[in-house]
Amino acid sequence: MFRVTTDASSHREAPLISNDPLADNTDLYAFRSPNDTNTITLIACYIPMELPEGGPNFASFGENIRYEIHVDNNASTTGDDIIYRFTFQKVNEDPTTFFNIRLGQQNLKTTYTAERTTDGGSSWSTIVSNGVVPPPNIGPRSIENATVGLGTTYSALVQNAIATASTGEKVFCGPADDPFFVDLGGVFDVGQSRRPGESGSEAARDGVAGFNCHVIAIQVPISSLQKDGKTVSMASNIRDGDFVIGVWA
């Protein structure tokens, strides 16, 4: 009942931003949340072709970058009506080692501040302070071992990293499997688009399988996105223009 318009992007396709991978946003997703149909989930993905086991310098959000998700919910006005901004900070808890995790301490430990504006950026409100970014899933010794690692499970780290904003949104920032499917080898071989279901050399291949990206995910109540604060039950039909938003990052 709530429609979203988005523009598609790709992975490392723009020459200038490919030289700045921490700021390179690959794909943007906006959809009605399957676990709560009164909300919309917005997901912005960054850092393309991120190797999960790429230590010791594992990928992380940049400290000198403003990550933003923009929402336009009113076609009769100019500019963006809602903007979410994320800034990240890092600290090395054990600078005596090159290991990312050792003896219960973490290097490149990342936290964030999330802000929101509803007046085009004239004023900002902090909605999450000291949000936690889970570390990379390095392996069971680093994550689960209580002596040399963190003594927990990676699932617990992810769950504990889900924050509830002061304005009602649920927020997660961190590494995740890249959900996109694209046959990069075929596409950039002079546009050889191999098809799913074919076999042998003609079979489409997921060029981003086995790679991560860093995601900023926000689950937003529909009433917070709708320009008049209406709930989804108040939409006249699936094409109700008052319930259409545009999203970009």
Q: What is the pLDDT along the chain (249 residues), one digit of tens a residue?
A: 556 554 445 576 677 888 899 999 999 999 999 999 999 999 999 999 999 999 999 999 999 999 999 999 998 888 999 999 999 999 999 999 999 999 999 999 999 999 999 999 999 999 999 999 999 999 999 999 999 999 999 999 999 999 999 999 999 999 999 998 888 777 777 777 777 666 666 777 888 889 999 999 999 999 999 999 999 999 999 889 999 999 999
Residue 223: strand, helix, or coil: helix
Burial class (CB in 10 A: 0-12, 13-18, 19+), 51: exposed
Q: How many CB atoms lie within 10 A of CB 22?
A: 16
Q: What is the pTM (predicted TM-score) of this model?
A: 0.90
Q: How many CB atoms lie within 10 A of CB 3?
A: 14
